[in-house]
Amino acid sequence: MKAILGFNNLGYIGKNNRIMWNCSDDFKHFKTMTMGATLLVGYNTASELPPLKGRTIIVDDKRDGYVITNDTDDIWCIGGKKTYEKYAQFFTEVHISHIDDDSIGDVMMPDLKNLAPWCKIYHYYFDTNEKKLANQNPFTPQLEKLADQVAKIENTVYGNDPGAGFQNGNIGDGDSGFRG
């Protein structure tokens, strides 16, 4: 099973069970990655999810058990926070997009401390103004704490080798990726 999620400059992933930003590059990335796949989504997030053509939706029903535990090759977990945390142990890949947006949300980045050691983490960066930010560090003081959390996750998963298993996503001109 794979996971795909986005967070903004302040570490928020959503508000009122929806994403808060309007970034066509991120939307295209999501569509490209998940087209033809089965999408696992939490109950609350599903209630606000728009129709996603070309994909099958499975809704996690809030029970303690898992809706999916095997044959997860073409399944993407798309949120919300509790669903990411619940299924993290099954992820073989996590695709994390940093969106250049300063909106205040009501749900922060999930705690992915239960990732399997073989899970690959891919990072992407998207500017809501539809332009890449050349020669600028997208980190803000608020993101340093979030970057530390991601580093701790990678250290837990990959031991003391921070580069082991890390993959930098490539979108468009190759100037994407989560910088640290």
pLDDT score of 151 more than 50: yes
Residue type at position 97: S
Q: Does residue 61 contact residue 86 with C-beta atoms inside 8 Å? A: no
Range of weakest confidence among 40-44, 89-93, 103-107, 136-140? 136-140
What dihedral do alpha carbons 95, 143, 48, 127 form, nearest 10°? Answer: -70
For residue 134, what are the contacts with CB-CB under 8 A and spacing of at least 6?
Answer: 175
Q: Does residue 121 contact residue 92 with C-beta atoms inside 8 Å? A: no
Q: How deeply is 44 buried, as exposed, middle or buried, from its count of CB atoms within 10 A (0-12, 13-18, 19+)? A: buried
Sheet hosting strand 93-100, strand order edge to edge: 56-60, 38-42, 75-77, 2-8, 93-100, 120-127, 166-168
Q: What number is the average pLDDT over the span 93-121?
A: 94
Q: Does residue 29 contact residue 124 with C-beta atoms inside 8 Å? A: yes
pLDDT at 101: 93
What is the C-alpha to C-alpha distance for residues 27 and 100, in angstroms, rounded to an integer? 14
For residue 108, what are the contacts with CB-CB under 8 A and spacing of at least 6?
Answer: 11, 12, 13, 81
Average pLDDT, the chain: 78
Domains of the chain (ranges; CATH) run: 2-168 (3.40.430.10)
Q: pLDDT band for 17, please (50, 70, 90 cuts).
A: confident
